[in-house]
Every structure is written in structure tokens, then in C-alpha cells.
Amino acid sequence: MLSVSTNDSYAVLMESLGFPGSNRLRPILEMLMTPDQANMAAALPGTPEEVAEKTGIDVHRVRDNLDELYFKGVIFPRGDFRNRVYYRFARSIGQFHDATMATEQLDVEKDRPFFELWYDFAMNEMYPNTARRYEKAESPRTRIVPAYKSIKDLPGVLPYENWPEILKAQELIATAPCSCRLCTASVGEPCDLHDEVTHAACLQFGRGADYVIARGSGRELSKEEVLELNDIIEDSGLLHLWPNSAIMTGPKTSCQCCRDCCMTYVPIDQAGLPISKAWEKSRYQAYVNQDDCDGCQICVDRCLFDAIEMERPEGSKKYKATIDAEKCFGCGSCGIGCGAEALKMKVVRPPEHIPQPITA
């Protein structure tokens, strides 16, 4: 049971999320929960019967309200998502952020006041806190997986850097709207790369997919459908993210990220930190065949790592793209957008660059 020295259940919940006394988080909680519902959430974990005993509220009313909070993404059942008998409150502000916003049940126009509260809280409190955590990180836990279209013709592609093979390895797949891009679209700062309202691109696997399907926050995808969606994702220039480990299954979620909305990249940019604090490079690096480069600069716009500049080679009348190897994360987005096919990918790191999973 959550506890703090106050009778204010909203304060209890704010403290459990790591933001005690936040005047920006409180309105979000108040919009999601009535005072009675906040009391119930603060009495978790437990069954409806246990919450009823702790709060003195009728058990039937407790059960109905806990179900309502589940569908809003505030609380989470243990075990079966459909036969819900035991609940807990969100484990972290990140989980609370995603579950309450990453849903097709919200509308970017109708629910703008809700998104505006989240945007204000994220930009002013949540993101600075996120940046402080990344600043202390010793090594990145997440790795860039290159866009498959950029490496599909290269030899030696490993299974756990072959994005379609990773997708095919998942037993259950669903998609839900990206909470970050949905929020920025609602507040008038839409993503420069991808229309999340038209094509929800946050991928959920296994139990994560089951949660999305059961809650109605997204929809199940067949293998064929997720591969079709992946073509849209790669054409948009979004980044595939995966744990920095040689694994094919296990994660419940895979973000397809951008720089202008992402709850990892935006805080890191705000704090002036290198993105390497959060993400590891792929084994690949982009390079330019300057004889083919027509100087269109599309690659500059598509690169989310500031790794491409236009320079005029000696003797040339045109500016040509050049790659800064230190900045390149090997995502492959630049090559997909290159109409002249001047940008290619090459392997620059050995297989050992991707750590093997830790076994007990």
C-alpha cells in the first residue's frame, strides 16, 4: 500500500511517482481520477475487496472504479488482463505517462486540455529529471537497429540487427499511438517526420501487446501488417530501438523514435548531453559515394544525429554530403531518403559490439 504522512491521496500518488508536491502533475491526476478514485489508487496494491476494506467504500463501487482506472491507464492488473482481480498503481512516471496517453481512445482535438497538462509537466519537470538520470548512466541500455532497407543487400547481417526478423520472432504484436508524438500533435507541435494519428507506430510485443489489445488502446497486427507498417516507419525516418543485447524476444515494447518528440531524445537535447548516454550505435555506418551525390540535402534533413554536412569538394561545382563518423549512429535513415542512391551503409564494428545476453 502506498503511504505518506498526509490525508491527501493525490499527494500520496505524486510522491510514489517521484514528484512530491508537483503543481504540474497534480492537475493530471485530478483530471484522471476523482478524489474517491485517488483514495482507491493510493490503497493499492490489492484486490477490490482489500481496497474496499482499506477505504470503507462499497466493494461493488470499488470494483467498477478500479476497472475505469485500468482502462484509463492509471492502474494495472496482475495476471490476466481480462479477468482482473488484483491491481497495482503505476510503477514509474514513464509507465504512467505512456499508459495514460498512448491510446486510440484519446482524440488530439477533443482531449487537448489533457495533453497540454502532460506537455507542460513533461517539459518542465519530467524531462529535466529524466536527463539527470541519463547523465549518471554508465552505459546505454538501448541500441539503434538500422532500417532494414538500408542494409538488406549487405552480407553478414545478424538476426538481432535484422528488424523484420525481430518482428517475425514475436508471438503477439500490437500497435498503439506513441504517447510522445500524440501529445506533441495535440499541442500544436506535431512531429516533423511521422503522422502518429494516421499510423500509430509504437510497437508492443507479448504481454505488452496483450495489454494494448485487452484495454482497447491499440490493435493487434498480423506479421504481414506489421511489416507493412514498418515500411511506413522506415520511409518516415523513425528510429528502431531495441535492448543493447543479442536477443530476438523478451521486450514488451519497441519505440520507433524521432528527435523532436521522444521522451528520451528531447530531455537529452534539453540538457546538452550526448545521445550516447541513452542509445548505443549499430554496427553500421553511413558513407557517401560522392560521384553519385547530387547535393539535394535530403539526407541532412533525415539525419537525427547531426552527422551529415554539405561540403564542396575541391574541383566540384556542387556541394556534396559528408558523414561525420563520430556522430553517425548507423540508423540508415539517410540512405533510404537518398534518391540518387549515393548514401550506403558499411559494417564498421564486429559482432562483439552487441553484448550477449546475461545468463544466470
- CA dist 233 and 114 (Å) reads 27
pLDDT confidence of residue 238 = 97
Q: Are residues 143 and 108 in the same domain?
A: no
CB 302 within 8 A of CB 329: no
Domain range spanning residue 22? 9-125
Report whether the peptide linkage leading into residue 45 is cis, meaning its omega lies within 30 degrees of zero: yes
Q: Which of 246, 262, 278 corresponds to the end of one domain?
A: 278
Residue 1 belongs to some domain of the structure: no
Q: Can you give the pTM of this predicted structure? A: 0.94
Mean pLDDT per 10-residue run, the chain (360 residues)? 64 98 98 98 98 97 98 97 97 97 97 98 98 94 97 96 98 97 97 96 98 97 98 97 97 95 97 97 96 93 96 88 97 93 96 87
- CA dist 303 and 239 (Å) reads 10
Q: Are residues 239 and 336 in the same domain?
A: no
Four-residue CA torsion sign, 227, 233, 239, 243: negative
Q: Are residues 319 and 245 in the same domain?
A: no
Counting DSSP H helices and E strands in the chain, the numbers are: 16, 14
- CA dist 16 and 37 (Å) reads 16
- CA dist 191 and 198 (Å) reads 12
Give 241-251 pLDDT, tens digit per residue: 999 999 999 99
pLDDT confidence of residue 5 = 40
Residue 175 belongs to some domain of the structure: yes
User: 54, 72, 52, 73: which is closest to 62 by C-alpha?
Assistant: 52
Amino acid at 162: N
Count of structural domains, the chain: 3
CB atoms within 10 A of CB 249: 11
Q: Are residues 218 and 296 in the same domain?
A: no
Give 73-125 pLDDT, tens digit per residue: 999 999 999 999 999 999 999 999 999 999 999 999 999 999 999 999 999 99
- CA dist 97 and 270 (Å) reads 19
Q: Are residues 208 and 104 in the same domain?
A: no
How far is Cα of residue 333 from the mean position of the Cα atoms in its chain?
Answer: 18
pLDDT confidence of residue 360 = 57
Q: Which of 278, 310, 326 corresponds to the end of one domain?
A: 278
pLDDT confidence of residue 340 = 86
Residue in the structure block whose three cell numbers are 521486450: 251
pLDDT confidence of residue 2 = 53
Q: Are residues 254 and 145 in the same domain?
A: yes
Q: Are residues 274 and 288 in the same domain?
A: no
pLDDT confidence of residue 34 = 97
- CA dist 49 and 100 (Å) reads 25
Q: Are residues 300 and 212 in the same domain?
A: no
Q: Are residues 121 and 143 in the same domain?
A: no
Q: Which of 278, 294, 314 corresponds to the end of one domain?
A: 278
CB 336 within 8 A of CB 237: yes
